[in-house]
Each structure stands twice: as C-alpha cells, then as structure tokens.
C-alpha cells in the first residue's frame, strides 16, 4: 500500500504564492506518476498537474505559466509551486500517485485565495 501525506495549503491573497508538498510512503517502488488534482465546491475533481518518474509533465491550461510541478524521486515527494494565485484556484488539492493500474489519493489540503 502507498500512503500520501500532503502539506502546504492555506489562505493567501490573490497574486500570492503557495507551495504544496506530498510525500509517499509504504510500497513506493514502481510509482510512475505523481501529481495534483483539485476539487472546488460543487465541481468535479480536475487535473492540475502531474509528473512522471522521468520528469515529463502535464498540466491544465488554466494553470500553465503559473503553477509548476516537480518531483524528487529519491524522497518520493512531489511539489506544486503555485504563483499568481487567483480566487478561482480555491479548492481542496489532492495528491495523486499511480503505480501500474493502482491509484492512490492523499487526504487533501485546502487552498483558499482571497480577492
């Protein structure tokens, strides 16, 4: 089993920055994709950004140029640097890890951006 623990959420003003971290523990061998999804109230969970073991990334158009996903494979940790935050970025952010066909989610961390 893989466990994911997130940190770094909080309240920030529009235009500010936050950095999220997520560390995987347990049976981490073979995790090939890590990243972040988010879910705003009344909306479906959506992709924010993901990164493979090899460093390839994919991100939502809404965050391109503002958010950067990165990964430290030695530490089994994925980061999300969020800059130029907007009120519409307010959501619960969930860490994501995929190992073969198995997906694991973190418990979620709240990000609130005030206008």
Q: 52-89, pLDDT tens digit by residue?
A: 999 999 999 999 999 999 999 999 999 999 999 999 99
Please give the average per-residue pLDDT across 44-58, as a whole number.
97
Q: What angle do CA 15, 38, 89 make, to 5 degrees?
A: 20
| Region at 55 (left for phi over 0; alpha for psi -120 to 50; beta for the rest) | left
Q: Please, which pLDDT band fits residue 40 given cuts at 50, 70 and 90? A: very high
Q: Please, which pLDDT band fits residue 14 given cuts at 50, 70 and 90? A: very high
- 13 versus 29: the higher-pLDDT residue is 13
Please give the average per-residue pLDDT across 28-53, as a whole number.
96
d(CA 109, CA 94): 7
């Amino acid at each position: 089993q893989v466990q994911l623990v997130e940190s770094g959420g909080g309240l920030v003003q529009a235009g500010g920055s936050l950095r999220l971290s997520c560390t995987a523990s347990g049976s981490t061998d073979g995790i090939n994709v890590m990243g972040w999804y988010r879910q705003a109230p009344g909306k479906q969970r959506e992709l924010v950004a993901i990164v493979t073991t090899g460093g390839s990334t994919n991100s939502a158009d809404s965050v391109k140029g503002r958010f950067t996903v990165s990964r430290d494979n030695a530490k089994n940790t994925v980061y999300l640097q969020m800059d130029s935050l907007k009120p519409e970025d307010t959501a619960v952010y969930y860490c994501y890890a995929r190992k073969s066909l198995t997906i694991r989610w973190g418990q979620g961390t709240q990000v609130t951006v005030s206008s």
